Structures are given as C-alpha cells and as structure tokens.
Structure 1
C-alpha cells in the first residue's frame, strides 16, 4: 500500500542562473519573466488602439525599415506566414498599412505604413517609451546599453 508522504523541501540552489537544468533560475525562465513583465506594460500602453502585440511588431518593422514584401516582413518580425496574413488583414482594415503589388515581383505584395498608420504609430511612441523606461529602471544607462548589445548579438545568432 502506497501512502502519500510529504516531500522534503528542495535544497536551495546557489549556482544561479542555472545553465544545465531547467529551473526558476534558468536563463530561459528569467527571460520569460522579464518578457512577461515588459509585455504586460506594452499591452497596457496600447490599450484602446485596437492593436495586438504581433501587429505592433509589424508596425515597428515597417517604421524602422520601410516598405517590404510580406515574406521579408515575416522574417524581420519573426511571425509565421498564416499569422502574418491575419495580422495584416486587420491592420489593413484599420487603415494602418496598405498592401500593393510588389513591383519587383508581381507574385508578392509590398507592405507599407499608410500616412494615417504612421501618425497613429508615432502617437504610441511616448507611452511605449515610458513602459520601456520603467522596465529598464533597475539598470544603469551603461547596463541598458550592454543589455541591448547582448540581446542584439543573441538575436543575430538565430539567423
């Protein structure tokens, strides 16, 4: 007969963060916690805009890099094809973006911000910057620059 015996508490870890085993101190979990905290702030900042987080990535990519094909946009924003189409449909319906025939390849579409979309996206800048500043408040300016550099290096390593 098996009885439920209380489990002893786990021994505290001293080797933080763990790179060998999944745990509450692993790099992946810590990145998840940080991203979740930032995402909550971003969602609050864009509340009422009609945007979804994935759509925000599309608008940011177009604002930074200019018009591009849907395929390029999916690669830059790291959004898979079927989700990208759904996001673009909603953004186009909302007047944020326009899809035109791509002059370089008639089989594809070129996506661009509309003037209205660019103006609305620009207005989101200050509240999104405030969220970012609040998120980064525990870091010094030098640590923030280092974090950005490290994240860029890690992101580039994926491609």
Structure 2
C-alpha cells in the first residue's frame, strides 16, 4: 500500500497511475469491495434456505424486535415500501412471518415471526458465523478483534439503517 501512496504523491505520473493509486488506497473502495464479497457469500449460503439477502435482513430484524409496522421495518433497514412488501409476501408465503392488522390503524399491519420463522433463526445465526469465519480466516485472532473494534468505532450511532428501537 505504501508503494501506491508514493505513486500518488509523484506529480509526473500518468493519469492512469494516479487513478490506480487513488483507488487502491481508498478505504471506501476497499470496504465496498469487501462488502460485495461478503454479500456474495451470504447470498450463496442463503439460497440453501430459499432466501435472499432482503429476506434475511427482515428476519434478522424481526428476531431482535417484532411487532413493528411494515413502514417501521422498512425505515429501520432503509428498504423502500415496495421491497418490504415483496419480501414480506415471500416470507409469509414460506410461513416464516405473519402480518396482523394494527389495532390503532386500519391501514397498517404489524409483522411477527411465526413459529417456523423463529425455528429457522438459529440456522441463520450459524450461517452468519460460518460466513464471517471463512471471510476472516486469513487474519489472526488479534487482527479479527481489532478489525471488529475499528468497524464498530467507525459506525455512526445515529445511522438509520440500524434496527429500530
């Protein structure tokens, strides 16, 4: 990485060299690439359960806090209403979630895990653990812990993509 930083500092390098150095030293670019790699691995593993990433995100959110409206659920995970509806339709069809009328609003529904959804969660937790362990395998334990701490430090405590509540 130091080599690319030196390249970036030289004024007589070509535009291509400077672009490469900028990209390869960009923390944002690296995090985005790593996120894509993790998402591909999760997508592959979730397909074994007949699930997609959107389904997984909803199930994980509901396992932490159910009895939320579809709108609250979507807002909490930054998912548009149409995508929430589509994902909930699938999950409801699979018997993993149920929507119940909201007692305070005729137009709203509250979302709950079903017994089958609740029973599936330990398998999904194990999947997350396996994917994370595989992904982090090249790092020694101390670096894994350091990376987790650094990422937690960088996360915005006001980020609306975190769970509601």
TM-score (norm 1): 0.78
Displacement, 1:24? 4.7
Q: Quick check: 84-93 or 37-46, which moved more?
A: 37-46
Distance 2:99 2:68 in 1: 10
Question: Match of 1:118?
Answer: 118
Number of equivalenced pairs: 144
Distance verdict in 2 for CA 1:38–1:67, change over 3 Å: same
Please say if 1:156 is aligned against 2:154: no
Superposed CA RMSD in Å reads: 2.4
Please say if 1:106 is aligned against 2:106: yes
Alignment of 1:1-159 (within 5 A): 10-11=16-17, 18=22, 23-137=23-137, 138=139, 139-151=143-155, 153=156, 156-157=158-159
Distance 2:111 2:92 in 1: 10
Distance verdict in 2 for CA 1:131–1:62, change over 3 Å: same
TM-score (norm 2): 0.76
Unaligned runs of 5+ in 2: 1-13
Unaligned runs of 5+ in 1: 1-7
Instruction: Name whichever structure is richer in helix by fraction.
Output: 2
Distance 2:56 2:129 in 1: 14
Distance verdict in 2 for CA 1:78–1:9, change over 3 Å: closer
Distance verdict in 2 for CA 1:158–1:29, change over 3 Å: farther
CA contact (8 A) 1:136 1:144 kept: no
Displacement, 1:65? 1.7
